[in-house]
Structure 1
């Protein structure tokens, strides 16, 4: 039997251990969106809403009263996610699944054509879906590198096609879920991103995330130039380093490395709920009313990379993107 002295020592060790874990988790979880703002009556589109950050974003917006359209490539996974969300308290009549494959322009166009018969406005579009460190160089049916189209070009087309109904909602918001890894991108030139000799596991992701930041800045400039009264805003963000399914193609996700590092990753990486906080901030906060073309992290504005601030390059990227998706003049 342990003496009271031994019990006291064990209790002290356990207290220190638990306190350390709590402190680490609190530090690494990042800023939390705490504004008590209702989303009642809002119509929100979230791509990639079947898991990770997108799923948590959809959950919170639904719980706040929004009608959330879950734009997902895989309908079975989307239905499973919807069941989970309803069990967590979401209102099922305000969780609508729509099949959209960002790696297929025809799928995006079909969705855009159909949705205009279903809704007459959109309040928030969250371009959240993405893949990271895809291991092979592959091109989509449209002829573009898979990560580039899934993360950036598909969202670019979706945003362009949604602009007419976004403009029908005063103060509509577009949110590009980018990454701090955009700062490691080498180029966003189509001749570079679409050439196999320029491929490795990490660069396509970084390039696509840089393009998303540039997209937010350039679309802002164009909207304000064409119509100074336009109230649609578009911003980009870094969600933080999150322990989600996005990392399924990384080396650390492979057995046995995943099992070895899982406790450490859990300790120092954000949960998907924590990663959704800046998306929620940009979707709902009154602090960003009218603010557009900016890059955010931890629920506040951050400075993007110098490449992201290159206006000439952003203009070229936008024009090239219009041509790529078939919307060029």
Structure 2
């Protein structure tokens, strides 16, 4: 009798245990079902919000066409995935689908420490990366890929020891050009030669460093005299050196505002003195003035205004010098074609793009702001190599043989400041510049 009682009690205990497990499973399932429904409602809300954001992006004409196409492609892939999930839900039914999702979530969390939200975040991160990469490629701009060999050509590049100038020396040297590197610091120029040799295999015998300080007219004249003794011709002159955001009004030893002389007057004098050598180039000497889109912000190139301390401004002073670079190319083209019939010499200006270079000599910016904004600067600015592409295009491309007096950006012609379209204004600037440099106005 006692054994029967024990057996009954044991059976009742097992029944109670099974009933409790069933209740627990039902409760867990209901809880998971509620949780799933809540998640589903939130996902639906998020999906509508995302679709609206995507719709706005696709209609945003300020974004490049290839980026909008990429966003559209990713959106279609996401829609396909959602359709597959919805099909699975219909086949299984809501209750079974919810149970499988909840069980899958529990297993992934318990066994792998992983959650489906991580997949969502990973996908979002991947999409962001792809979009940012596409934007970065767009910022890089056009690349000069024309197969050109300039064996035997002679070039001069100012500001050749760093930034765009250094990349131009590398590209020209690798195309068998003999490059004279006009540098303010000979030691820095020699260090650049060693770097280009060790990193890229450039020929050191075709990279000649010469001292040339654009803030000193006598230094420019000495550079030209030495070059004339060594070479019979000049095929390419790239007026690249420059300064930007100089913090205060400063005069050079020649009595001119520093940014104006560094960016424009110094190059003007250099070009004038080298014109006879450029005329001797068999294929036509090419002059490339590295200007900037900032020239569009200039108010004037009148020497009285440019040289006035009270009219100095960090940005506008830079813009004036860059407008003068463009106007110089226009005026020089007219003079050459008028006074030297049959001359093949060409002169063009260009915007290299917004490049992260050493042009900025504002100590506060270089020491603090530039370091803080380094990641952003890398993303929104071109590299030196990217910035060298348009000047390189103007120096070597067969597509623009004979083209002169134009302004280019990303290897294509662009519109210019109204003053650069005014031939009379360009002529006045040219005559004023001859006077400022102490040159004979009848020389050209």
**TM-score w.r.t. structure 2 length?**
0.71
Cα deviation, 1:44-71, whole Å, max 9, x if unaligned, reads 1000011111111111111111111111
SS in 1 for 2:156: strand
Q: Which has the higher contact order (CA 8 A, sep 6+)?
A: 1
Out of 73, 76, 98, the residue aligned to residue 187 of structure 2 is 76
| Stretch moving more, 217-226 or 243-252 | 243-252
Tell me the residue number matched to 2:359: 246
How large is the RMSD of aligned CA atoms in angstroms? Answer: 1.6
Residue segments in structure 1 that go unaligned for 5+ positions in a row:
none
Contact 1:45 1:126 in 2 (8 A): yes
Structure 1 residue 15 displacement after superposition:
2.9
Higher share of residues assigned helix: 2
Structure 1 runs, 4 residues or longer, greater than 4 Å off = 4-11
Give the match for residue 147 of structure 1: 259
**Deviating more after overlay: 215-224 vs 308-317:** 308-317
Matched ranges for 1:1-329 at <5 A: 2-3=113-114, 8=119, 11-87=122-198, 88-170=200-282, 171-249=284-362, 252-255=365-368, 257-329=369-441
Once the two structures are superposed, residues 170-217 of structure 1 have per-residue CA deviations (whole angstroms, 9 ceiling, x without a partner) of 311000000011111111111111110110111211111010100000
| Per-residue CA distance 1:197-249 (angstroms, 9 max, x = gap) | 11011121111101010000000000110012010000000011111111342
Q: Secondary structure at the match of 2:230?
A: coil
Shift of 1:12: 3.3
Native 8 Å contact 1:252 1:261 kept in 2? no
SS in 2 for 1:71: strand
Contact kept, 8 Å, 1:69 with 1:96, in 2: the verdict is yes
Question: Secondary structure at the residue paired with 1:234?
Answer: strand
Is contact 2:246-2:360 (8 Å) kept?
no
Q: State how far apart, in whole Å, the 1-side matches of 2:337 and 2:404 are.
A: 10
What do residues 284-319 of structure 1 show as CA deviations (whole Å, max 9, x unaligned)? 101110000001111011111101111111111111
Question: How many Å apart are 1:258 and its aligned residue?
Answer: 2.3
C-alpha distance in 1, partners of 2:127/2:136? 14
Shift of the 251–29 alpha-carbon distance from structure 1 to 2, 3 Å rule, reads farther
Distance 1:107 1:228 in 2: 32
Is contact 2:236-2:285 (8 Å) kept? yes
User: How far 1:20 sits from its partner (Å)?
Assistant: 2.8
Contact 1:126-1:175 at 8 Å conserved across structures: yes
SS in 2 for 1:117: helix
2:373 match: secondary structure: helix
Q: Could you state the TM-score of these two structures normalised by the residue count of structure 1?
A: 0.95
Shift of 1:41: 1.0
Unaligned runs of 5+ in 2: 1-111
Larger radius of gyration: 2
Give the C-alpha shift of residue 80 in structure 1: 1.5
* Distance in 2 separating the partners of 1:304 and 1:251: 32
Count of aligned positions:
328
Tell me how far 1:144 sits from its aligned partner: 0.3
